[in-house]
């Protein structure tokens, strides 16, 4: 059995430290807006290249804090991609704005910056560009369009902790950068959590207030906000795990290289890594023929292959009101039928990889004879 992600292997290696940190957080009784959160906000912002960090209850609420904090709401349009987790578009809709999709680049699976301009109207206020699977998108391309049209830029880095662009950590680009600490993420809490980073002090203050009922101090509310606070206990766990994140990230990158070596002579499209990017491989995604049959074969053999994501957002029932045809975003649509995520987590062994690749080769042999 090799799952897509095995949280237990990592937990075993840090169990004592986590238990101590959780116990201390409980003993402190500082459950809300406590010191663990402040420390984590500071340290995560620093390691990610941003000046300020505002903890959030999830990656989804981090996105909503960024949108609302930037003043985006009713009557506005926000551009994003159709091949992301629905949280990206939920945040747009719940802020009051309207989702507008733009197709992706076939090699990186990230937003195709050259297609953004055609989607801009006089209502467009912002772009949410996703760093999917752990590879930064064409950040400069996105920022250039945004500058030209005076748009805000939010990066959804839910899958891209510690990724780099042009040698710099990605957390300092654009107006705000949002991360998720969902348990299976590269930096995962033991429950939900998120953060939004920014270099804009006023925006950071506004988002901090919004996350905490719009209050400046207890019972003094400058505006209506939300309860989107990060939990102190989760922050205590994240502080323990953050120390190991650079090492875990290197391990993912080493495993990705090894996958590449083992798969190079096979009939699969490997992840393309742009030379400007440091990809942190939240997911290791290949493209191949007979994807569904191969996924079933691997799953039957106890290998947790997955699909991220099997249904493009513009063809989801939830967005049927937009009346999109599948072909409106043909690249995203085509990729959704051929992508396959192979197991990826820092504690995977080379033997695990060899077994996965062997089974993948058997699956392809079988599919060649059965589905031609
Ligand atoms: C690209 C992307 N955006 C947003 C989110 C939302 O994060 P969360 O689950 O912490 O709300 C996720 C993950 O779940 C994600 O993968």
Instruction: Give ranges for CATH 3.90.1150.10 in the chain.
Output: 245-370
Q: Give nearest CA residue, ligand 1 atom 8.
A: 59
Mutate to test the pocket of ligand 1, among 182, 193, 226, 312 (most ligand atoms within 8 A of CB): 182
Q: What is the pLDDT of residues 235-287, one digit of tens each?
A: 999 999 999 999 999 999 999 999 999 999 999 999 999 888 999 999 999 99
145 alpha carbon – ligand 1 mean position (Å): 25
Taking the CA of residue 63 as reference, the ligand 1 atom at the shortest distance is 4
Neighbours of 122 (CB within 10 A): 6
Pocket test for ligand 1, best of 81, 85, 195 (most atoms within 8 A of CB): 85
Residues whose beta carbon lies within 6 Å of some atom of ligand 1: 58-60, 84-85, 87-88, 130, 156, 158-159, 180, 182, 192, 194
CATH no. of 7-242: 3.40.640.10
Looking from the CA of residue 194, the nearest atom of ligand 1 is 10
What number does the ligand 1 atom closest to the CA of 130 have? 1
Give per-residue pLDDT as tens, 125-179.
999 999 999 999 999 999 999 999 999 999 999 999 999 999 999 999 999 999 9
pLDDT of residue 161: 98
Nearest Cα residue to atom 10 of ligand 1: 59
Pick the atom of ligand 1 nearest to 308's CA: 16
Identify the pLDDT of residue 370: 78
| Ligand 1: centre distance to CA 159 (Å) | 8
d(CA 166, CA 189): 28
Q: Contact at 8 Å (CB) between 356 and 2? A: yes
| 40-60 per-residue burial string, b: 16 or more CB within 10 A, e: under 16 | bbeebbebbbbebbbbbbbbb
Residues of the chain with pLDDT under 50: none
At 361 the pLDDT is 97
Give span(s): CATH 3.40.640.10, the chain.
Answer: 7-242
Q: Report CA(59)–ligand 1 centroid distance (Å).
A: 5
Task: Say which residues have a Cβ less than 8 Å from residue 372's Cβ, sequence separation at least 6.
Answer: none
The C-alpha atoms of residue 256 and residue 134 are separated, in whole angstroms, by 12
Å from CA of 11 to ligand 1 middle: 21
Helices 291-300 and 350-370, packing angle to 10 deg: 130
Q: What is the second-level CATH architecture of the domain 245-370?
A: Alpha-Beta Complex (3.90)
pLDDT recorded at residue 372: 53
HSE of 314 in the Cβ direction (CA atoms, 13 Å)? 24
Atom of ligand 1 nearest to the CA of 159: 16
Q: What is the pLDDT of residue 209?
A: 98
User: Percent of the chain beyond pLDDT 90?
Assistant: 96
Measured between alpha carbons, how far apart are the two ends of the chain, in Å?
A: 29
Taking CA atoms only, the protein residue closest to ligand 1 atom 7 is 59
């Amino acid at each position: 059995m090799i799952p897509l992600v095995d949280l237990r292997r990592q937990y075993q290696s840090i169990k004592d430290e986590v238990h101590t940190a959780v116990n201390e957080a409980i003993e402190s009784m500082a459950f809300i807006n406590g010191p663990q959160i402040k420390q984590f906000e500071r340290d995560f912002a620093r390691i990610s290249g941003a000046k300020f960090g505002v903890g959030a209850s999830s990656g989804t609420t981090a996105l909503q804090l960024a949108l609302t904090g930037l003043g985006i709401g009713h009557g506005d349009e926000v551009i994003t991609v159709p091949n992301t987790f629905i949280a990206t578009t939920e945040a747009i809709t719940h802020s009051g704005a309207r989702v507008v999709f733009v197709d992706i680049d076939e090699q990186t699976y990230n937003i195709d910056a050259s297609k953004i301009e055609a989607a801009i109207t006089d209502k467009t206020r912002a772009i949410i560009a996703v760093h999917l699977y752990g590879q930064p998108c064409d950040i400069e391309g996105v920022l250039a369009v945004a500058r030209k049209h005076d748009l805000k830029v939010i990066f959804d880095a839910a899958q891209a902790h510690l990724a780099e662009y042009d040698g710099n950590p990605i957390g300092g680009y654009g107006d705000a950068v949002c991360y998720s600490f969902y348990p299976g993420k590269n930096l995962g809490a033991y429950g939900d959590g998120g953060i939004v980073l920014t270099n804009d002090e006023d925006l950071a203050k506004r988002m901090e207030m919004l996350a905490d009922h719009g209050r400046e101090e207890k019972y003094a509310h400058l505006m209506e906000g939300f309860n989107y606070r990060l939990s102190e206990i989760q922050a205590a766990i994240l502080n323990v795990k953050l120390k190991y994140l650079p090492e875990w990230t290197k391990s993912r990158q080493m495993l990705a290289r090894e996958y590449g070596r083992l798969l190079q002579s096979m009939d699969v499209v490997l992840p393309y890594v742009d030379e400007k990017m440091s990809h942190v491989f939240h997911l290791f995604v290949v493209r191949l023929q007979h994807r569904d049959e191969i996924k079933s074969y691997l799953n039957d053999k106890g290998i947790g292959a997955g699909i991220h994501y099997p249904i493009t957002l513009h063809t989801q029932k939830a967005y049927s009101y937009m009346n999109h045809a599948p072909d409106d975003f043909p690249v995203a649509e085509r990729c959704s039928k051929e992508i396959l995520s192979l197991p990826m987590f820092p504690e995977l062994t080379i033997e695990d990889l060899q077994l996965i690749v062997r089974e993948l080769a058997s699956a392809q042999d079988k599919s060649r004879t059965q589905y031609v």
